[in-house]
Amino acid sequence: LHSAASLAFQDRAAAAEVLEALRAEPAIEGAFIYDQDGLVFASYRRDTSIDVAPATMADLVEGCVCQRNLAPL
């Protein structure tokens, strides 16, 4: 998955589309792309009735896997 272009061009729809590809991985319940300020840029949730995105990277809870500044994501 490649999120760098969507961030570079500030294209939230493209970023959401990138994350939507994670639906093919049943073990992934949610994923988030954060912008350079640490704010949620795009999100994916398997169960869309639950909003689980931490507002900022600083709000991530223990047990979350965070891969920062990695492209491909």
* DSSP-assigned beta bridge partners for residue 33: 42
Per-residue tens of pLDDT for the chain, all 73 residues: 578 889 999 999 999 999 999 999 988 888 888 888 888 899 888 887 776 666 666 666 555 555 544 434 3
Instruction: Please tell me the distance from the alpha carbon of residue 8 to that of residue 45, in angstroms, as a whole number.
Output: 23
Comparing CA positions, the residue from 21, 24, 3, 1 lying closest to residue 12 is 3
Whole-prediction pTM: 0.69
